[in-house]
Amino acid sequence: MIKNGRIVKSLAGFYDVEAEGEVYQTRARGNFRKKGMKPVVGDFVEFSAEENSEGYILKIGERKNSLIRPSIANIDQAVIIMSTVSPNFSLNLLDRFLVFLEHKNIHPMIYISKMDLLTEDQGSSEKSNKTFNQRADYEQIKRNYEQIGYDVFFDAEHLVSNLSGKVTVFMGQTGAGKTTLLNKIAPEMQLATGETSEKLGRGRHTTRHVEFFELAGGLIADTPGFSSLDYEVTNQPDLNAAFPEILKISHNCKFRECTHTHEPSCAVKVALENHEILESRYENYLQLLDEINHTRETYEKKRKKQG
């Protein structure tokens, strides 16, 4: 019998596929390996489902996006966990996460952890990539990023209410509190991962085991902690598109491929002067653009040497 479903768990070469409320254990046909393809959690697949025997994945549907660490496809949204302290909050790192997700067509949400470690203060001023140690600082950050179009959360309850009907992944810098958050909102994830770890041998499940968990009417998955972030934006137009507020204003620039650095009649620089764009966002855009250009120059030099 041929069925259609979605992979909800991947473990040591086996794939659990959910179809019409039932879960079937399957393996992938060998021809996928020959084609350089591999099913991943989140894939919509066509598979064989025979009684009392192992099913086989026959076809993998087109993916709208995917992650490598861990291997997950067709993600609707991602929660970026940023801590106030230990490690200290960084607007630069936050914007790198946002660029990464925008480029992959994954809707970002921002969760700021360890708010209880902050002090109360009457005033706040915008800071670039410095430390933020007062609650008022984060209230301002929340307003700034919500104005761009991002949802920002300080507490788990409001975050969970936004997970219904969506496939959501959780990501964040190592030590930012991702595990603490997941243990609070989905303690069954820790239990299930622990059981898998015992079966496979301690520490091995992180590379071999990927699984969706049901929460608040949606599906969620964990990702490894990041100490740094590599993203796939390799040119200025893609970088421009990954900053929604810059993209919107850039349509009014004199030149279609304006880099917003030196060109005359640049609408983005005018918006910056009028405080319509955050200075920190523009500075981070420039830093990422510089990294892209530097990477390209290095690649060109290597190619000339090899040639």
- Tell me the two tokens of residue 99: 């660029």
Residue 92: count other Cβ atoms within 10 Å of its Cβ: 13
pLDDT computed for residue 189 by the predictor: 80
pLDDT computed for residue 139 by the predictor: 96
Is the pLDDT at 26 greater than 70? The verdict is: yes
Q: Does residue 166 have a known ligand-binding role?
A: no
Q: Does residue 207 have a known ligand-binding role?
A: no
pLDDT computed for residue 34 by the predictor: 82
Mean pLDDT of 157-185: 93
Q: Does residue 201 have a known ligand-binding role?
A: no
Q: Does residue 260 have a known ligand-binding role?
A: yes
- Domain 72-222 is found in CATH 3.30.70.1230: no
pLDDT computed for residue 302 by the predictor: 64
pLDDT computed for residue 205 by the predictor: 39
Nearest to 60 by CA among 88, 90, 33, 93: 33
> What whole-number distance in Å separates Cα of residue 153 and Cα of residue 95?
16
Q: Is the dihedral of CA 289, 245, 227, 75 positive or negative?
A: negative
pLDDT > 90 fraction of the chain, expressed in percent and rounded:
68
Q: Does residue 149 have a known ligand-binding role?
A: no
pLDDT top residue among 175 and 203 = 175
pLDDT computed for residue 49 by the predictor: 87
Q: Does residue 269 have a known ligand-binding role?
A: no
Q: Which band of pLDDT confidence, cut at 50, 70 and 90, is reported for residue 207?
A: very low
Q: Does residue 172 have a known ligand-binding role?
A: yes
Q: Does residue 55 have a known ligand-binding role?
A: no
Please name every residue paired with 19 in a beta bridge, in sequence order, or none if there are none: 22
Give me the CATH topology for the region 236-306: Ribonucleotide Reductase Protein R1; domain 1 (1.10.40)
> What whole-number distance in Å separates Cα of residue 250 and Cα of residue 44?
37
Q: Does residue 242 have a known ligand-binding role?
A: no
pLDDT top residue among 302 and 234 = 234
- Tell me the two tokens of residue 145: 């990023």
> What whole-number distance in Å separates Cα of residue 269 and Cα of residue 26?
55
Q: Does residue 176 have a known ligand-binding role?
A: yes
Q: Does residue 203 have a known ligand-binding role?
A: no
Is the pLDDT at 38 greater than 70? The verdict is: yes
Q: Does residue 171 have a known ligand-binding role?
A: no
Is the pLDDT at 167 greater than 70? The verdict is: yes
Mean pLDDT of 121-135: 62
Q: Does residue 175 have a known ligand-binding role?
A: yes
Is the pLDDT at 176 greater than 80? The verdict is: yes
Q: Does residue 179 have a known ligand-binding role?
A: yes
Mean confidence (pLDDT) of the chain: 87
Residue 240: count other Cβ atoms within 10 Å of its Cβ: 20
Q: Does residue 230 have a known ligand-binding role?
A: no
- Kindly list the domain boundaries of the chain, sorted by start residue: 2-62, 72-222, 236-306
| pLDDT tens by residue, 41-81 | 999 999 998 777 789 999 999 999 999 888 999 999 999 99
Q: Does residue 178 have a known ligand-binding role?
A: yes
Mean pLDDT of 123-141: 73
- Domain 2-62 is found in CATH 2.70.180.20: no
The strand pair at 55-60 and 167-172 is best described as unpaired
* Cβ pair 55, 16 in contact under 8 A: no
Can you give the C-alpha Rg of the chain in angstroms?
22
Q: Does residue 140 have a known ligand-binding role?
A: no
